[in-house]
Amino acid sequence: MIQQLIIIAIGSAFINNVVLSQFLGICPFLGVSKKINTAAGMGSAVVFVITLASAVAGVIYRFILVPLDITYLQTIVFILVIAALVQFVEMFLKKKMKGLYQALGVYLPLITTNCAVLGVALTNVQKEYSLLEGVVNGFATAVGFLVAIVILAGLREKMEYNDIPKPFRGMPTVLLTACLMAIAFFGFSGLK
């Protein structure tokens, strides 16, 4: 059992990285990765939301949707669960961490529409993960997002001081950097 959970965790975080392999959650990945502190805050919020959403969605799916034979409502129910969790995170950050709340700006409510969060909940159902496996998958996927966004933020901070040709400044360089990161993470596919 532990071996299976480790395989799920490594696979979700590195081999099938949600941003660099599945290309889900690109908006906050590109938008909030200018500073390491902001990227780490966003990544932490995503870790919390995805992990909790995986657990809650798993419980609702297994104990409500399946017994009532209304699994066709899974997407709508998962979206509602995610929206409620993001509201909770937003209220918490607004009250306890005002600086991070202001730094995240519009990207915090965008976690609600972040397809990575919904993608994890749906993947847990499609792969028929148990509740524990689903939570491990959600946590590891979110940690993979956190690792990717912090690495990109670190690279972007370093690139600010480079002499980059004018046509490549800004988003073109960020996209090229993200592409190179995706290629680097592709090297983890040999771990399977």
- SS3 sequence of the chain: CHHHHHHHHHHHHHHCCCCCCCCCCHHHHHHCCCCHHHHHHHHHHHHHHHHHHHHHHHHHHHHHHCCCCCHHHHHHHHHHHHHHHHHHHHHHHHHHCHHHHHHHHHHCHHHCCCHHHHHHHHHHHHCCCCHHHHHHHHHHHHHHHHHHHHHHHHHHHHHCCCCCCHHHCCHHHHHHHHHHHHHHHHHHHHHC
What letter represents residue 29's amino acid?
Answer: F
Residue 139 near residue 54, CB atoms below 8 Å: yes
Residue 50 near residue 124, CB atoms below 8 Å: no
Chain mean pLDDT for the chain = 89
pLDDT attached to residue 191: 66
pLDDT digits (tens, 9 = 90+) for 35-93: 998 899 888 888 888 998 999 999 999 999 999 999 999 999 999 988 888 888 888 88
Tell me the pTM. Answer: 0.88
Task: Report residue 192's pLDDT band, with 50, 70 and 90 as the boundaries.
Answer: low
Task: Report residue 8's pLDDT band, with 50, 70 and 90 as the boundaries.
Answer: very high
Closest CA relative to residue 108, chosen from 40, 53, 28, 33 = 28
Task: Report residue 96's pLDDT band, with 50, 70 and 90 as the boundaries.
Answer: confident
The larger pLDDT score, comparing residue 94 to residue 105, is at: 94
